[in-house]
A and B are shown apart, each in its own frame.
Chain A
Amino acid sequence: NAGVTQTPKFQVLKTGQSMTLQCAQDMNHEYMSWYRQDPGMGLRLIHYSVGAGITDQGEVPNGYNVSRSTTEDFPLRLLSAAPSQTSVYFCASSRAGTLGEQYFGPGTRLTVT
Chain B
Amino acid sequence: GENVEQHPSTLSVQEGDSAVIKCTYSDSASNYFPWYKQELGKRPQLIIDIRSNVGEKKDQRIAVTLNKTAKHFSLHITETQPEDSAVYFCAAPLTGFQKLVFGTGTRLLVSP
Contact = CB atoms under 8 A, between A and B. Distances in A.
B104 interface: yes
Contact of A104 (B43, B49, B103): B43
A40 B98 contact: no
Interface of A: 33, 35, 40-45, 48, 50, 56, 58-59, 90, 99-102, 104-107
Interface of B: 6, 9, 32-34, 42-46, 49, 89, 91, 93, 97-105
A100 B32 contact: yes
A99 B97 contact: yes
Contacts of A45: 99-101
29 contacts: A33-B100, A40-B104, A40-B105, A41-B104, A42-B89, A42-B102, A42-B103, A43-B44, A43-B102, A43-B105, A44-B102, A45-B99, A45-B100, A48-B98, A50-B98, A56-B98, A59-B99, A90-B43, A99-B32, A100-B34, A100-B91, A100-B93, A100-B100, A101-B46, A101-B49, A102-B100, A104-B44, A104-B45, A106-B42
A105 B99 contact: no
